[in-house]
């Protein structure tokens, strides 16, 4: 059974005022950066796009446009679209608005998953899942369609209803979501400081 990576980009980014997937923290658009993080862990990585993004994104990764049949369901739209197109795969899902995400954290997450579960996701201290940092098995496709048809479009509620696994990351910072221009500036400053500190450590290494 193959594991595919899925970068979810199709949100409206209304609070940010610009497409969050195109924000640049370090030399490349965030959707490309997140895809790069998933490459070591997955057989293939797919960019989930809305119609406008599908036309404008220029990437070496395979793009998949949201299907009109699943429109209006938020992040569930992207997940349903890819599961309808590629029903025989499990998916490691990452949203485009988590600038502190790392391949190591995603690898730890994968190793923690009980494989008899239908899905699993990062879980925060407030008792909520982060559905866009998750793993969804192909076995959950039918239940996902049924939830959509019934008007239950919340992935948070879907994960709870299906007994999804809970992963508490090594660093809570991993789950910081950037939704506003102020969030973006703060995250970029923090990442720049971290890069400077890492550079100094390398310079001082004997």
The two three-digit tokens of residue 114, written as one number: 């009980």
The answer to whether position 8 is within a domain reads yes
Instruction: Say what the pTM is.
Output: 0.90
Annotated binding-site residue? 97: yes
Domain assignment present for residue 191? The answer is no
Q: Do residues 122 and 175 make contact, with C-beta atoms less than 8 angstroms apart?
A: yes
Helix (H, G, I), strand (E, B), or coil: what is residue 158? Answer: helix
Helix (H, G, I), strand (E, B) or coil at 177: coil
pLDDT at 197 over 60: no
Q: Say whether 42 counts as a known binding-site residue.
A: no
Tell me how far CA of residue 84 lies from CA of 72, 112, 163, in angstroms: 16, 27, 22
Any known ligand binding at 104? no
Domain of residue 109, CATH code:
3.90.550.10
Q: How confident is the model at residue 201 (pLDDT cuts 50, 70, 90)?
A: very low
* Residue, of 55 and 197, whose pLDDT is higher: 55
Find out whether 96 is annotated in a ligand binding site: no
Q: Is 90 annotated as a binding residue?
A: no
> Is 173 part of a structural domain of the chain?
yes
| CB of 13 closer than 8 Å to CB of 20 | yes
Distance CA 86, CA 50 (A): 17
CA distance 202 to 198: 6
Question: What is the Rg, in whole angstroms, of the alpha carbon atoms belonging to the chain?
Answer: 17
Asked, for residue 122, whether it belongs to a domain, the answer is yes
Residue 93 lies in a domain: yes
Residue 128 belongs to domain spanning: 3-177
Q: Which of 174, 150, 177 is nearest to 161 (CA)?
A: 150
Is 203 within the bounds of a domain? no
pLDDT in tens, 105-145: 999 999 999 989 999 999 999 999 999 999 999 999 999 99
Average pLDDT, stretch 160-189? 92
State residue 115's pLDDT score.
82
Q: Structural domain tally of the chain?
A: 1
8 among the known binding-site residues? yes
Q: pLDDT tens digits, residue range 4-32?
A: 999 999 666 666 768 888 899 888 999 99
pLDDT for the residue 27 = 86
Three-state SS at 23: coil
- The reply to whether 193 falls in a domain is no
**Strand-pair category, 62-65 with 44-49:** parallel
């Amino acid at each position: 059974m193959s594991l595919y990576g899925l970068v979810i980009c199709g949100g409206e980014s209304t609070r940010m005022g610009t497409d969050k997937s195109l924000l640049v923290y370090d030399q490349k658009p965030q959707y490309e950066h997140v895809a790069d993080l998933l490459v070591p862990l997955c057989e293939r990585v797919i960019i989930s796009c809305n119609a406008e993004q599908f036309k404008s994104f220029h990437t070496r990764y395979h793009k998949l446009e949201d299907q009109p049949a699943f429109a209006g369901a938020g992040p569930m739209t992207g997940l349903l679209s890819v599961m309808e197109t590629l029903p025989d795969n499990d998916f490691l899902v990452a949203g485009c608005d988590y600038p502190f995400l790392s391949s190591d954290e995603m690898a730890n997450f994968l190793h923690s998953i009980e494989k008899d579960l239908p899905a699993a996701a990062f879980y925060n201290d407030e008792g909520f899942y982060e559905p866009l940092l998750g793993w969804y098995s192909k076995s959950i496709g039918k239940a996902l369609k049924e939830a959509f048809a019934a008007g239950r479009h919340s992935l948070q509620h879907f994960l709870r209803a299906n007994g999804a696994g809970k992963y508490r990351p090594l660093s809570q910072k991993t789950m910081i979501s950037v939704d506003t221009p102020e969030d973006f500036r703060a995250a970029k400053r923090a990442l720049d400081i971290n890069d400077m500190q890492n550079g100094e450590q390398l310079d001082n290494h004997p």
